[in-house]
Amino acid sequence: MNIFWFIPTHGDSRYLGTSKGARQVDHAYMKQIAVAVDNLGYDGVLIPTGRSCEDPWITAASLIDATRQLKFLVALRPGITTPALAARMAATFDRLSNGRILLNLVTGGDEQELKGDGLYEDHSTRYQTASEYVKIWREILTRSHTGESFTFHGERLSVDDAKLLYPPVQQPHPPLWFGGSSEAATELAAEQVDTYLTWGEPPAAVKEKIQYLRAKAAAIGRTLNYGIRLHVIVRETNEQAWAAADELIQYLDDATIAAAQKKFAQMDSVGQQRMAALHGGRKDQLEVSPNLWAGIGLVRGGAGTALVGDPETVAARIQEYADLGIDTFIFSGYPHLEESIRFAELVFPLLPLKTRKKLAQPHLTGPFGEIIANNYVPETTEAKNLVKETA
- Secondary structure string (H, E, C) spanning the chain: CEEEEECCCCCEECCCCCCCCEECCCHHHHHHHHHHHHHHCCCEEECCCCCCCCCHHHHHHHCCCCCCCCEEEEEECECCECHHHHHHHHHHHHHHCCCCEEEEECCCCCHHHHHHCCCCCCHHHHHHHHHHHHHHHHHHHHHCCCCCCEEEECCCCEEEEECCCCCCCCCCCCCEEEECCCHHHHHHHHHHCCEEEEECCCHHHHHHHHHHHHHHHHHCCCCCEEEEECEEEECCCHHHHHHHHHHHCCCCCHHHHHHHHHHHHCCCCHHHHHHHHHHCCCCCCCEEECCEECHHHHCCCCCCCEEEECHHHHHHHHHHHHHHCCCEEECCCCCHHHHHHHHHHHHHHHCCHHHHHHHCCCCCCCCCCCCECCCECCCCHHHHHHHHHHC
List residues bridging with 178 in a β-sheet.
Answer: 105, 196
pLDDT at 178 over 50: yes
Under 8 Å between Cβ of 186 and 216? yes
Across the chain, mean pLDDT equals 89
Burial of 92-112, coded b for 16+ CB within 10 Å and e otherwise, reads ebbeebeebbbbbbbbbbbbe
Q: What are 128-177's pLDDT values in tens digits?
A: 999 999 999 999 999 999 999 999 999 999 999 999 999 999 999 999 99
Distance CA 298, CA 157 (A): 38
pLDDT at 24 over 70: yes
Distance CA 385, CA 391 (A): 10
What pLDDT, on a 0 to 100 scale, did the predictor assign at position 387? 42
**What average pLDDT score do residues 53-82 get?**
95
What pLDDT, on a 0 to 100 scale, did the predictor assign at position 390? 47
Q: Does the domain made of 1-75+178-355 have the CATH classification 3.40.50.2020?
A: no
Q: Which residues contact 95 (CB under 8 A, 6 or more apart)?
A: 166, 168, 169
Sorting pLDDT into bands at 50, 70 and 90, what band is 373? confident
**What average pLDDT score do residues 18-24 get?**
90
**What average pLDDT score do residues 39-45 get?**
96
Domain residue spans in the chain?
Answer: 1-75+178-355
Sorting pLDDT into bands at 50, 70 and 90, what band is 357? low
What pLDDT, on a 0 to 100 scale, did the predictor assign at position 83? 95
Q: What are 284-342's pLDDT values in tens digits?
A: 788 888 999 988 988 887 788 999 999 999 999 999 999 999 999 999 999 999 999 99
What pLDDT, on a 0 to 100 scale, did the predictor assign at position 369? 78
**What average pLDDT score do residues 197-220 get?**
94
pLDDT at 381 over 70: no
Q: Rank 36-40, 249-253, 375-379 by mean pLDDT and report only the highest.
A: 36-40
Sorting pLDDT into bands at 50, 70 and 90, what band is 378? confident
Burial of 41-52, coded b for 16+ CB within 10 Å and e otherwise, reads bbbbbbbbbbee
**What average pLDDT score do residues 63-80 get?**
95
Sorting pLDDT into bands at 50, 70 and 90, what band is 281? low
Question: Could you count the other beta carbons within 10 Å of the beta carbon of residue 368?
Answer: 11
Sorting pLDDT into bands at 50, 70 and 90, what band is 91? very high
